Every structure is written in structure tokens, then in C-alpha cells.
Structure 1
Amino acid sequence: MLKAAISGERIRNSHALVVDALGRAIVGGDYPRGSTLPGDFELAARFGVSRTVLREAMKTLAAKGMIVAKARIGTRVTDKSTWNYFDADILRWHLDNGADSRFMTHLAEMRLAFEPYAARLACRHATPKDVEQMLAHADAMENATSLEGFALADLAFHMALAEASKNPFMYSVGALVEAALVTSFRLSSPFGEAARQSSSAAKHRRIAQAIARRDETEAAAAVEVVITEGRDRVGLKLAEI
């Protein structure tokens, strides 16, 4: 998600193109809740794909909780409450559609619900190599010479934190972190301003250092600072738009 946002390019096959187009249309409200999608023949002709490819695309969207097929009725768009918001595609479609401050607040709230605790777990389970990797990523953030380098180092730090918790569920919700960083990259990245870039790296380094000391309270608090400051920066930018 983050690499795609930076490059603006995505490699897709026919299946992925159909999933992407329909997913975006659903998230964007072209097909509101309860509406029925066009029939297979119409969609297959629109996208220039076989009915086999189309059916597989529909299965993918159904697995994300976005649509449900009903006999003699057709394929209907489901309520958002059934959508899998941990899914990277759904998050990306929301961001590309222009996620508002409410959506970003919800995203930050979810991160606050699990990342500080991931830091506490890391204090109990992280190896010296885990800490070394996090510190290296923080250094890469400070020394980054491109926006892409800074953003990817930032993401790598948070993924390393999840890995250090030794809880596989923490790593599985990495799409939420990536979605937040995509928005930060687009709206308010500290890169390019020496003081802000150095400060951001230092705040991440503080997390790793607290984990190295096995200080759960300090590590959790340091993570909360990173998340809330990022949330507030994005909120200010969104308010200006």
C-alpha cells in the first residue's frame, strides 16, 4: 500500500483490475448499501474479461464482506458494518477516495488500542536483535534523503515493533499502521524539514530504547506519543482542505 502510494503505480492482472474498480465504486458510493450490482454479462463486457474472471473477482469482494449474492435477486452491496476494515484493499480505497477526519480518528483509535500493548509485549519478549533492528530503522528515518526512504523506514520500524511483540496477531493488523502512514506521507510527512525529521526519528528511537530497558510504561507511552502526534498533524491538514 505504501509503496504504491509513493510510486503511484500498481501492477494488476485482469482479476485485480475488476476487484479494484468495483471496490472503489462501492466505497465511493456509486453502488450504495443494498443496491444491486449490474449483471455478469454487463460487467464482463464493461471490463473486457471472461465470466470466469468476473466470478473470481466477485468471490474476492464477497470475502471482504462487501457484497453478497442472492438467488433470483442478484449481487447486493452489504452494509459497511460487515466490511473487513483490516483488509488492505478496503483501507486503500477509503484513503484514495479521500478519507475524512472521522475515518482517520477511527484509524488512530484502533492503533492506540493495540500498538502500545504491542510495545509492552516487546518489553517482555524482544531479543537484542529486535531492538537493534528498530534502532536501525529509526536511524534510517533520520538519515533518509528521500520521502520514499523516510516513509518506508517509518513503516519498517512499526512492523519491527509488531514482530518484537512475538504475537502473530499484532503483525497481522499491520495494514492499519500502513494506512495511517500512507495518509501521513500524503499530507504531513516530516521529511524535508530537518528539525521535524530528526524529532520524529528521536520519538521512534525512544520506543526502542524503552523496550531495551524492559520499561513497559515508558515504551507504551512513547508509542502513544507517536500515534497521537501523527493523528493531530493529519487532522490539521484535513481541516485546511
Structure 2
Amino acid sequence: MSIARWAADRPLSNHEQIVRTLGLEILTGVHAPAANLPPEPVLLSRFGISRTALREVLKTLSAKGLLISKTRVGTKVQDPLHWNYFDADVLAWLVSQGLDETLRKHLLEVRTALEPQAAALAAKRRTADDLGELRRCITAMADPHHDQHSFAQADLDFHVAVGSASGNPMMRSFAAVIEVALLASFSLTSPVDRPDLHTEVVAAHAAIVDAIEAGDAAAAAAAMRAVIQSGFDRV
């Protein structure tokens, strides 16, 4: 089970529920940047928790870049410039509000900057096991019985496998860090309702593996760029 699927299925603790509630309110502008959060007594009454528990909540949100606390000033909402968009919770909260055009474009730009390089490195460093995993991923993507979500998971598994084959653990971690956004994006662009498009998308991913197996870094990078752009354009 993927990290994102596991996180979605398990129940949230009281602490996590309050963090999520305030986090969503910050991301959606209920508490605007540079504004103070409601006074402590108001938050204590609203959530029915102790001061210690509230401080832990605020500490968690501060660690995600959403809040900053200053003596004699109080707890203020940070400018979005300081939000940690690679935090799994922050990204999940954003995606829960809908993968809008701006978020999709930002994701496209980050993926285009990193994933072609991962494919190029994989062409130089891949092992026999890496190639076996990449081919397994292609076979899984080609399964004609997918629904949107199962295809998205198979698509994600492929991109994680490319990161692993790059031999750079940071490349491997990239897909895991933004997993929830990738799953949402891949679900939007899933081709499973059109057999011809499904075949075309799988073939485009297979071209990445062919280039990696051939040791052609430039072709692997180009094939990855084409897959990323094509997915963006399908929405």
C-alpha cells in the first residue's frame, strides 16, 4: 500500500485532526498571511484541549512553515513563501481542495526540472534489477482492468522506479515526497476510459525504459519530458 493510501485510510488522532483543521484554514485564507491566529482562550474553547496540547498543535504547524510565534506579538500566519510545500500534510491539504491549474503548473515545472534528469541518470546507472522492476511497472500499467485510481498507483510506481534506478536517493525520495500530488494528478489524466489512449500512454512510458536500457541518457530524458508534458496537456 502506498504512503498516501495508508495515510488516507487510517484514522487521525485528535492532535492530527486539529492540525489539519487549522492547516486547511490557513491554506484557504480563513486565517490570512500576517494575521494573528485567534487568541489562545478562543482556540482552547473551540477545540476543548489543554494549553499543552494546543502548543503542540501550533508547534507542528510552525514546523510546516505555516505559523511563526513571537514574544509580545503572538502567533501569526506565515506568508505562503515560507510554507513547506514538500511537507506531506501540507501537500495533501492543498490537493484535498482540488488540483487547480496553478498547482498543476507548479507540479509540472518541478517534475520537468527533476524527472528527466533522473531518467538520464538511470540510463547510466541502472542495474539488471532496476530494468526488471521498470519492465514490471510497464506490464502493470498495461493491465486493461484498471480503474482511474489503480492506474494512477501503477503510474506512480513507475516514476518511483525511475528515481530508484537513477542511483540518487534524493531522486528516489522526490516522488515519495510529492506522492499525494502525483496520485491526484495521475488520476486526473488516467487514460483507462479510452483503450487507444491507454495503449499510447503505456507505450510512451515504455519508451523511457527502452532508452534507459539502451544507455541513452538524452533519449531517456526526452522521453520523460514528453510523458510529463503529455499528462499535463490531457487535462
TM-score by length of 2: 0.90
Shift of the alpha carbon at 1:232?
Answer: 1.2
Residue 182 of structure 1 corresponds to 184
Whether contact under 8 Å (1:155, 1:178) holds in the other structure is no
CA separation of 1:151 and 1:99: change in aligned 2, threshold 3 A: closer
CA distance in 2, matches of 1:200, 1:156: 15
Shift of the alpha carbon at 1:182?
Answer: 0.8
CA distance in 1, matches of 2:125, 2:57: 41
Q: What per-residue deviation string (whole Å, max 9, x for no partner) do you get for residues 101-136 of structure 1?
A: 122111101100000001111111111111111111
Residue 222 of structure 2 corresponds to 221
CA separation of 1:10 and 1:28: change in aligned 2, threshold 3 A: farther
Q: What per-residue deviation string (whole Å, max 9, x for no partner) do you get for residues 2-27 of structure 1?
A: 5279xx64521112111111111111
Whether contact under 8 Å (1:37, 1:75) holds in the other structure is yes
The gaps in structure 1 that reach 5 residues or longer are 235-241
Q: What per-residue deviation string (whole Å, max 9, x for no partner) do you get for residues 183-236 of structure 1?
A: 331x332123212222222211111121111110111011101110111122xx
CA distance in 2, matches of 1:48, 1:203: 53
Residue 75 of structure 1 corresponds to 75
Residue 131 of structure 1 corresponds to 131
Shift of the alpha carbon at 1:156?
Answer: 0.7
Whether contact under 8 Å (1:104, 1:180) holds in the other structure is no
- Computed over aligned residues only, the root mean square deviation of the Cα atoms, in angstroms, reads 2.0
Residue 34 of structure 1 corresponds to 34
The one-letter amino acid paired with 2:24 is R
For the residue of structure 2 that corresponds to 1:68, the secondary structure is strand
The gaps in structure 2 that reach 5 residues or longer are none
The one-letter amino acid paired with 1:42 is V
After TM superposition, which residue ranges in structure 1, 4 or more long, deviate above 4 angstroms? none
Whether contact under 8 Å (2:122, 2:167) holds in the other structure is yes
- Aligned residues, how many? 231
Shift of the alpha carbon at 1:89?
Answer: 1.7
Residue 207 of structure 2 corresponds to 206
Whether contact under 8 Å (2:92, 2:180) holds in the other structure is no
For the residue of structure 1 that corresponds to 2:178, the secondary structure is helix
Shift of the alpha carbon at 1:177?
Answer: 5.4
Residue 239 of structure 1 corresponds to none
What does residue range 1-241 of structure 1 map to in structure 2 within 5 Å? 2-3=4-5, 9-143=9-143, 145-147=145-147, 148-174=149-175, 175-176=177-178, 178-185=180-187, 187-234=188-235
CA distance in 2, matches of 1:123, 1:160: 13
Shift of the alpha carbon at 1:37?
Answer: 0.8
TM-score by length of 1: 0.88
For the residue of structure 2 that corresponds to 1:173, the secondary structure is helix
CA distance in 2, matches of 1:3, 1:35: 34
